[in-house]
Structure 1
Amino acid sequence: MARITRTWLHLGASLAAIAATPAMAQDAAATVGEPQATTPAETAAEEVGDVVVTARRREETLIDVPIAMSVVSGDTLVQTGAVDITALQDRTPNLTLQIARGSNSTLIAFSRGVGQQDPLWGFEPGIGLYIDDVYVARPQGAVLDIFDVSRVEVLRGPQGTLYGRNIIGGAIKYVTKRLGNEFAGQARASYGSYDQIDLVGQLTIPLTDTLSVGAAVAKYWRDGYGRNLTTGAEQYDKDVLAARVSAEWSPTDDIFVRVAGDRTLDRSNPRHGTRLLPNGTDPVYAPTRSVYDTRAGIGDRNRVVAQGLSLTGEFGLSDALTFKTISAYRDGSTNTVIDFDNTALPTLDVPAEYDDWQFTQEVQLLVEADRVQGVLGLYYLDAKASGAFDTVVGLLNTTTLTSGEVRTKSYAAFGDVSFDVTDKLKLSGGLRYTKDDKRGTVFRRNYTGIRSPLFGNAAAVPGLIRTDYTNDRSFDQFTPRVSISFEPRDDLNLYASWGKGFKSGGFDMRGDAVFTPTTVNGYEPEKISSYELGMKGAFLDRTLFVNLAGYYSRYTDQQVTVQVPNVAGGIASFVDNAGKADIYGLELETRIVPSRDFSAQLSFGYTNADYKEFLTVIGGGTTPVDVADQRVFQNTPKFTVNASVTASTDFAGGTLSVTPDVALRSDVTLFEIPTPALDQDGYVLANASVNWLSPDGRYRVGMALRNLTDARYRVGGYNFPGALFGNSIIGYYGPPRTATATVEVRF
């Protein structure tokens, strides 16, 4: 009863905040002031037909864009019960999106074999995340919940020309809704398994004919899927408060100005994982009965804040030219703990803290003439990522403190232009020049005692300084892209493209100068060159839509983080630039929408990723050797398949829709070195959703069932074998079977 009372008090507070604060955006393409929802079948048609996307930084229909990409509307994600953007991996070919090991809101992203799973400060994702046009440089706080979103665009392959550094494997664009200039609102409440309670509200208030303000607020609670058997705390729980506010001013058809802010506070408990193997016969180190339980004794403190502010202006200079400016500031902080041994003992514990901030400025000149379309632009980023953590090895009564920061300044100039040679033949070309200046500072020191003074042990005895340096590096790169499109008829686009991408080099924040003296020199950029052939088309009187793409990529100097136990009792870390790899594959997305009452979709992805050269130092040697035949690509299933059907019928004066869906992923390894105890076999997830929509589209009642077979599947892990580390082989798991009921009203 107390919990229910608190829930209604929170609901009242949230609704009061919605009424008092301003919101962020409704889809620019939507009719202003119409709050009606669409049926799932109608939404399906919009996702593949004439939907307008901004993949090339300008508005185009999905069929016209010569880039392999998927688009999922916010309504689809909400109606099918998607918890956050990681659900996109079940709908998008060759995509892996997971919550990071030990975290609740840190994103791990891979596409076509390219990504970065190390969330430590200084390492940068290989898949770029954008909230509207603002680049989110750090993965902390990047597991975005589904509210106030018009659509999500997933671009596959290198996007270095238009999106720049680090967009080497693709981009995810979270496109929020435009406000419009009419009063409108929306409220959604959900209750589900494990006492899940979601409360979401949005409100738009026009102050004048040209100025509107709005707000979107979301609160998410959920008990844990398991428990901490040592502390009694919830394990895999959720406690998140998120909000977005904005103001939009459009005094004329040629001027649009938007100020937007967002903040997410995650106070969920840390995920400590579960032991997969015992440590001898000691019952302290025995695996738990449930994969969601833990015996971690490091504590349950976890707090993540991510927030940002942006100013966007669009000014029409003429019928053919538009000037656009995007200024943004973002920052975040994380205080967390990771218990690698999953016991009450400090066998292998890591308390940690991270901080980051970034300022970005981009200006664009958009061209929209009769036969020429394109964008020219300049980009600037100033950012700092810093942090510290202890590596506690309790059986030796030792701690290694690691701390440092990376300061980055990045400058870029870019252009991408399309030319209509004829009504059916189009050529596109683009080029970007990027220059990164980086300064890295790394400090590592041994202490005798459990934890260092920085993390609360003032009595710890300082020992050997293992790393202490500051160094500067600069990296620059040209990243071109060219494509040719042939449209033999309306709604059919055949295209071929070639493009390059690179991810900037940097400094290993864990680098140990005692074991690897060359760590002070940093590591080099990684590069990719990718070819793509594709087709996008509508057939059978626009009832069948097919997107097909085949690709081949040459991947060089891939940045691979390796962490291994060492004989001195610590953990040695180094970053390899891992030589050469070939990646090729196929992607198919089809959807049939014969009527507003029925739709079916199928997506298929195939990736073959093979190292041709992998140079690394092994066995304590000093000369790199080629171990390509012993390494595989991590987080890259060979096959991904998704299929769903949506059927609607008249019911109780409204429309009742049912959507079953199935997602299949083949075997996957979690690290470059195969580890049978950790690696995940292929699995299938079955989901279903039922939604009833009122005739005017203002009311919706829904039920979402996810992971119907209650499958257990690993999404991450750590591998520190050996008695000294408690044989710390631990895994992290995706959600179990859940059911969620939702009521939504639009006004």
Structure 2
Amino acid sequence: MHNNKSFRMKLLALSVAAACSGAVYSAEEASDKEKAEDDGVPVITVTARKTSENLQEVPVAVTALNNLEMEARGIELITEVQQYSPNTTLQKSRGTNSTMTAFIRGVGQQDPLWGYEPGVGIYIDDVYIARPQGAVLDILNIERVEVLRGPQGTLYGKNTIGGAVKYITKEMTGDAELGFKTTLGSYNQRDVKLTGQYPITDSLYVGFGAASLKRDGFGEFLQSDIPNQDRENYNKDVFASRVTLEYRPSDEFFFRFKWDKTEDDSNSKGGYRLLPSILTNAPVPDSVYDSYTSLPTWNLVEVEGVSFTAQWDLTENTSLKYVVSSRDNYSPTNIDFDNTAIRIFDVPAVYDDKQETQEIQLNHSGDGYNFVAGYYYLNAESCGLFDAILEEFGQSLSLPGLTREVSGCSHSQSNAAYAQGSFDLSQDWSMTLGVRYTNDEKHAVVRNGLIFDTVYPWSNWVPGYTRPEGELVPVVLNDSEDWSRFTPRIGVEYSYNEDVMFFASYAEGFKSGTFNPRASTAEPAADPEVVDSFEIGMKSDWGRNFRANVTLFALEHKDRQYISVLPGETSADLNQRLGNIGLSESTGIEAELTYVSSRNLTFDAAIGFIDSDFKEVLDTDPVTGETFDKSDRFTISNTPELTFNLGAKYTMESSVGDFVFNTSYYYRDDYVLFEEDSLLTQDGYGLVNFSVNWYSYTSNWTAGLHIKNLTDEEYKIGGYQFVTPDPSDPTNVSLYTPGLGGDNTLIGYYGDPRTISLTVGYQF
């Protein structure tokens, strides 16, 4: 065990940081391939096509980071992987720490409300995660993360029109192991992680992982009308645990049972008021991490899942795999949209999601060909309730209060069959063909209505509150719909030599249709979205010291689903409609470069450029009934035109061990946070990160010092806008017409400030 650990540490110290192309290192491949030696670029193994392959032989735009590289950079959350993947946005959403906003190449889903479908698929060990709540995963017992850019409409299929993010945990070695890490850092960060495995018999192993992750807030709630509550803002309080059983009765059979649970008790996040309130005298806070609230600050995200995998190697070249899983997600949350100490626009909400999946997969490789085929099934129910409390507006109308309550469930079933194969046409040419048939069925129930009182989801949500019994608002939508589609993939590959491959491909992505979870009438469902994508790329190693992977792409995003806010008689109206209104196009380039300057020094770069525009956005004039194009008012959200990461790693050998220095500069160009008439724009910014890690020669001790956002940049990652520019002077951004609730609600949520942490670990 000690020798194995030392080998892994030495391999880390001498191999490529490769932030752009990541690294999954295989000891067997390192000994078999000359170019994987210490002074050259490494062999990287990925499972992007559901079989283990050398990254340089996979005709797909993939970024991979393994556990050692993430450890060396101090990566703690899956969202940090966005810095190493071109044209990728993975960020914590507004209002909570655990909800994911994911966009790849301008395709994603901004609104995390129940019933909506994501545009980027999140997977844990081949199990699809249907909801963004709880998708911001902490790095624990992980083998690697893979980011697949572009539609994955054949092998993954379900809502991967933008791409897929794969979180892959470690398989056990069969050795008895125990390791711990503890981290102390700024804002009183205090993390403890414990992982291990133990062989019960020669063929039965048990593994476990547990983590307590705590940190004080970056800011505070300056005012609150609820006494005796925690006023920390942007704090962290997470406990995560996992247990795995693996059984290998023979060389042909493998079984794995996994259980995981995460409980996030971090406070709800308060946003920063970008405009002074016109209904209160509270000033705009001095810090972007400070806020005001009239809601409780408690928040909860509970995620629990189990899965079972059985694999049978029928022959040396043929295997059969079965994966079944079940996941539950429960999240009561407090979102103060107006971020004042009075009830102008408060939204307490509850999310309750369940899903079951099954997949049967056949893998076969032959002489000059291989293929993957399978069947996939998803049964999911996504439910929720929110109360939009407009108490101040209601009191201005001489009412005791005013609340618009919306609740309901969306039940979906998805069945899919897929097959994809690659085969050699000649010594230098090969072809990839794939197809997936998907059938999605949905049934939705929506309740929506006004309540002339102040209402919360349940009794004692705030101290002393009693909720009336029964359903408080009527059912406005109760409907079912189904959709089906074939999504193909076709590609051709040319091997110029054993180190340079060119490829071209066409792929189609399919995102399910859906009903409007905020419907106020029995409106029809929106149709599915479709993405057609073309890629031309190169995977290349030039000598043993330089790697260049480059992809050019063009995509057309058709039938974009969008929520439009309809004008009402008063600002208390929350009428919205969902429809297919848009067509957008994107073209771009992605380059992932690695240069091994010497045995001890490596440079890397990940560069993405994208030109994205709405070409058509059709709407109907409510007065004349005429259709018109308003694409000039729309911008692709969460999609900077330019992203790049420049990094360097230097290994310094000493008598007490290896010191590995990592530094990087990550830049994101300016971007908007909303698609239509966005008032929230983030200017371009750069993040400087620095790490130094020490690996002992004589023991299994490790230590790492990590500084993130060294220059303490402030940058928006989310927000709310419920104001419009004053029509009398739309060029003057200081003049606004109040929106829902009657106040100037323009709110920003921000990424983490500068943090410093020290991690110490030991492997028994």
TM-score (norm 1): 0.92
Please report how far the alpha carbon of residue 566 of structure 1 lies from its aligned counterpart in structure 2 after TM superposition: 3.8
1:222 aligned residue: 215
2:265 aligned residue: 267
Query: What stretches of structure 1 of length at least 5 have no aligned partner?
Result: 1-25, 514-518
Is 1:309 aligned to 2:315, yes or no?
Answer: no
Query: What stretches of structure 2 of length at least 5 have no aligned partner?
Result: 25-40, 225-229, 395-400, 724-737
1:746 aligned residue: 763
Q: What letter is aligned with 1:263? A: K
Is 1:632 aligned to 2:635, yes or no?
Answer: yes
2:513 aligned residue: 505
2:481 aligned residue: 473
1:714 aligned residue: 716
CA contact (8 A) 1:447 1:463 kept: no
Query: CA 1:619–1:638 in 2, change beyond 3 Å: closer, same or farther?
Result: farther
In structure 2, C-alpha distance between the alignment counterparts of 1:244 and 1:270, rounded to whole Å: 25
Q: What letter is aligned with 2:429? A: L
Is 1:191 aligned to 2:188, yes or no?
Answer: no
CA contact (8 A) 1:74 1:149 kept: yes
Query: CA 1:563–1:240 in 2, change beyond 3 Å: closer, same or farther?
Result: farther
CA contact (8 A) 1:576 1:616 kept: no
1:527 aligned residue: 530
Match of 2:751 among 710, 719, 734: 734
In structure 2, C-alpha distance between the alignment counterparts of 1:374 and 1:473, rounded to whole Å: 33
In structure 1, C-alpha distance between the alignment counterparts of 2:614 and 2:674, rounded to whole Å: 14
Please report how far the alpha carbon of residue 309 of structure 1 lies from its aligned counterpart in structure 2 after TM superposition: 0.6
1:95 aligned residue: 88
1:603 aligned residue: 606
Please report how far the alpha carbon of residue 592 of structure 1 lies from its aligned counterpart in structure 2 after TM superposition: 1.2
Please report how far the alpha carbon of residue 469 of structure 1 lies from its aligned counterpart in structure 2 after TM superposition: 2.1
Please report how far the alpha carbon of residue 744 of structure 1 lies from its aligned counterpart in structure 2 after TM superposition: 1.1
Is 1:582 aligned to 2:585, yes or no?
Answer: yes
Q: What letter is aligned with 1:272? A: G
Is 1:443 aligned to 2:440, yes or no?
Answer: no
Deviations 1:480-523 (A, max 9, x none): 0011111121122110010101100011111122xxxxx53111
Map 1:522-671 → 2, pairs under 5 A: 522-540=525-543, 542-563=544-565, 566-568=568-570, 569-617=572-620, 622-671=625-674
CA contact (8 A) 1:33 1:183 kept: no
2:243 aligned residue: 245
In structure 2, C-alpha distance between the alignment counterparts of 1:534 and 1:459, rounded to whole Å: 59
Match of 1:403 among 379, 400, 407: 407
Match of 2:197 among 204, 213, 223: 204
Please report how far the alpha carbon of residue 37 of structure 1 lies from its aligned counterpart in structure 2 after TM superposition: 6.7
Map 1:129-144 → 2, pairs under 5 A: 129-144=122-137
Match of 2:320 among 314, 318, 323: 323
Query: SS of the counterpart of 2:632?
Result: helix
In structure 2, C-alpha distance between the alignment counterparts of 1:186 and 1:563, rounded to whole Å: 52
Query: CA 1:620–1:707 in 2, change beyond 3 Å: closer, same or farther?
Result: farther
Query: CA 1:254–1:661 in 2, change beyond 3 Å: closer, same or farther?
Result: same
1:79 aligned residue: 72
In structure 1, C-alpha distance between the alignment counterparts of 2:584 and 2:678, rounded to whole Å: 21
Please report how far the alpha carbon of residue 371 of structure 1 lies from its aligned counterpart in structure 2 after TM superposition: 1.4
In structure 2, C-alpha distance between the alignment counterparts of 1:31 and 1:681, rounded to whole Å: 47
Query: SS of the counterpart of 2:79?
Result: helix
Query: SS of the counterpart of 2:682?
Result: coil
In structure 1, C-alpha distance between the alignment counterparts of 2:624 and 2:517, rounded to whole Å: 22
Match of 1:491 among 491, 499, 505: 499
1:21 aligned residue: none
Deviations 1:538-562 (A, max 9, x none): 112x211111000011110011234
CA contact (8 A) 1:547 1:590 kept: yes
Query: SS of the counterpart of 1:629?
Result: helix
Please report how far the alpha carbon of residue 414 of structure 1 lies from its aligned counterpart in structure 2 after TM superposition: 0.4
Comparing 232-241 with 572-581, greater Cα deviation is found at 572-581
Q: What letter is aligned with 1:63? A: Q
1:279 aligned residue: 277
Deviations 1:204-234 (A, max 9, x none): 1011111111101111000000001124610
Please report how far the alpha carbon of residue 735 of structure 1 lies from its aligned counterpart in structure 2 after TM superposition: 0.5
Deviations 1:325-356 (A, max 9, x none): 11111111001110011111010000100111
Identity %: 38
In structure 1, C-alpha distance between the alignment counterparts of 2:57 and 2:555, rounded to whole Å: 23
CA contact (8 A) 2:663 2:690 kept: yes
1:42 aligned residue: 15
In structure 2, C-alpha distance between the alignment counterparts of 1:38 and 1:562, rounded to whole Å: 53
1:681 aligned residue: 683
Please report how far the alpha carbon of residue 313 of structure 1 lies from its aligned counterpart in structure 2 after TM superposition: 1.1
Please report how far the alpha carbon of residue 461 of structure 1 lies from its aligned counterpart in structure 2 after TM superposition: 12
Query: CA 1:594–1:252 in 2, change beyond 3 Å: closer, same or farther?
Result: farther
CA contact (8 A) 1:49 1:545 kept: no
Query: CA 1:687–1:563 in 2, change beyond 3 Å: closer, same or farther?
Result: farther
Comparing 698-707 with 730-739, greater Cα deviation is found at 698-707
Q: What letter is aligned with 1:42? A: S
Please report how far the alpha carbon of residue 618 of structure 1 lies from its aligned counterpart in structure 2 after TM superposition: 5.6
Please report how far the alpha carbon of residue 35 of structure 1 lies from its aligned counterpart in structure 2 after TM superposition: 6.9
CA contact (8 A) 1:121 1:354 kept: yes
CA contact (8 A) 2:268 2:334 kept: yes
Q: How many residues align?
A: 711
In structure 2, C-alpha distance between the alignment counterparts of 1:510 and 1:620, rounded to whole Å: 23
CA contact (8 A) 1:273 1:730 kept: yes
Deviations 1:636-694 (A, max 9, x none): 10000100101111134201111111000011000112434x21111111111111111
Comparing 40-49 with 86-95, greater Cα deviation is found at 40-49
CA contact (8 A) 1:701 1:744 kept: yes
In structure 2, C-alpha distance between the alignment counterparts of 1:744 and 1:195, rounded to whole Å: 19
Please report how far the alpha carbon of residue 424 of structure 1 lies from its aligned counterpart in structure 2 after TM superposition: 2.1
Q: What letter is aligned with 1:408? A: S
In structure 1, C-alpha distance between the alignment counterparts of 2:138 and 2:581, rounded to whole Å: 34
Map 1:170-189 → 2, pairs under 5 A: 170-189=163-182
Query: SS of the counterpart of 1:287?
Result: coil
In structure 1, C-alpha distance between the alignment counterparts of 2:588 and 2:473, rounded to whole Å: 47
Q: What letter is aligned with 1:266? A: D
CA contact (8 A) 2:63 2:146 kept: yes
CA contact (8 A) 1:471 1:520 kept: no
Query: SS of the counterpart of 2:210?
Result: strand
Q: What letter is aligned with 1:66? A: P
Match of 1:233 among 221, 231, 234: 231
CA contact (8 A) 1:33 1:180 kept: no
Query: SS of the counterpart of 2:604?
Result: strand
In structure 2, C-alpha distance between the alignment counterparts of 1:453 and 1:546, rounded to whole Å: 54
Query: CA 1:37–1:178 in 2, change beyond 3 Å: closer, same or farther?
Result: farther
Please report how far the alpha carbon of residue 565 of structure 1 lies from its aligned counterpart in structure 2 after TM superposition: 6.7
Please report how far the alpha carbon of residue 276 of structure 1 lies from its aligned counterpart in structure 2 after TM superposition: 0.6
Match of 1:362 among 351, 359, 364: 359
CA contact (8 A) 1:401 1:446 kept: yes
In structure 2, C-alpha distance between the alignment counterparts of 1:215 and 1:464, rounded to whole Å: 45
Is 1:702 aligned to 2:704, yes or no?
Answer: yes
2:423 aligned residue: 419
TM-score (norm 2): 0.90
Query: SS of the counterpart of 2:289?
Result: coil
Match of 1:59 among 52, 55, 71: 52
Q: What letter is aligned with 2:256? A: R
